[in-house]
Amino acid sequence: MKIIEQFIKGKENSLNTCEDGLFTGSFMAAVIDGVTPKSRYLWQGKTSGCYAKDILLAFLGKIQRSELKSQTPEEFFSLLDRQLAIASGMPARKAGAGNSDSGVLRFTDYPRASIILYNDICREIWAYGDCQCAVNGRVYTHEKEIDRLNAGLRAFCLEYELQKGKTIEELAQLPADPGRTAIEENLKLQMAFENKNIPFGYPVLNGQGIAPSMIKVYPVKSGDEILLASDGYPVLGGTLAESEKELQRILKEDPLCFRAYRSTKGKKSCNISFDDRAYCRILV
């Protein structure tokens, strides 16, 4: 495998707070997308998304070729999931019904992440979650049904604010996105659908065990060109420049991300994008 180009950028223009991760080794490459936290609880001073990303990156760096060669996608993702459980102390304590402010961890506090990787040993792309990929130009987004629902509801709420007389510029300057506020409870409720192969169910590494049927595997062959990316790219172009161009177009036309590109969150006025982003282009 040959890395043609790779890139990572935080929405706040800082890698210290970036919840996306990029790993490249001699026999594996991976993009990790730490889930945006739904609470204020910090893990060693980091958001749950950053913490999950760092735990998984550290573990990938220790994987030996022989270990990856001997494992199935189910075994490997289960192993990654277990790392989150261990790092968060999940076997030793259960999320309580209280809140993290009172010292009782809720299920919403725990670290979560999506991951997509290229395994050069067996020449396959393995995906678990909503990171995206492309093989010779054919894109697989892995968009979640629940995200489409919440993005649509957020768009409805923002359109309602416009009907009441606010402008897009005024909405962008508000300290809290009214559309995001409207779906905040949904974003917590959707965790009941994690790793369940049912309507609105979706895969995510959360330390509670994976759903093998939700793993995606794409075989590739020598000479193929593949892309791995987080969902911080609304349009996955054939090159980094193309992907960046499309992102900047959308941010200019629709910075709140509710019309040209519907998302569960928009670009805050103090940020450079609506989400963190990571991109890796590989020649097999």
pLDDT of amino acid 106 = 82
Alpha-carbon 211 to chain mean position = 17
The sign of the dihedral angle between the CA atoms of 232, 68, 136, 22 is positive
Q: Which of 167, 79, 152 is nearest to 117 (CA)?
A: 79
Cα–Cα distance between 25 and 209 in angstroms, integer? 26
Question: Looking at residue 208, what DSSP letter applies?
Answer: S
pLDDT category of residue 103 using cuts at 50, 70 and 90: low
- pTM score, two decimals? 0.93
Instruction: Reply yes or no on domain 2-150+194-233+274-283 having CATH 3.60.40.10.
Output: yes
pLDDT of amino acid 93 = 40
Residue 113 phi/psi, 5-degree rounding, is -160, 155
Please write the tens of the pLDDT for every residue from 141-197: 999 999 999 999 999 999 999 999 999 999 999 999 999 999 999 999 999 999 999
Q: Which of 125, 24, 116, 121 is nearest to 67 (CA)?
A: 121
pLDDT category of residue 104 using cuts at 50, 70 and 90: low
Rounded to the nearest 10 degrees, the angle between the axes of helix 73-87 and helix 48-60 is 130
In percent, the amount of the chain with pLDDT more than 70 equals: 95
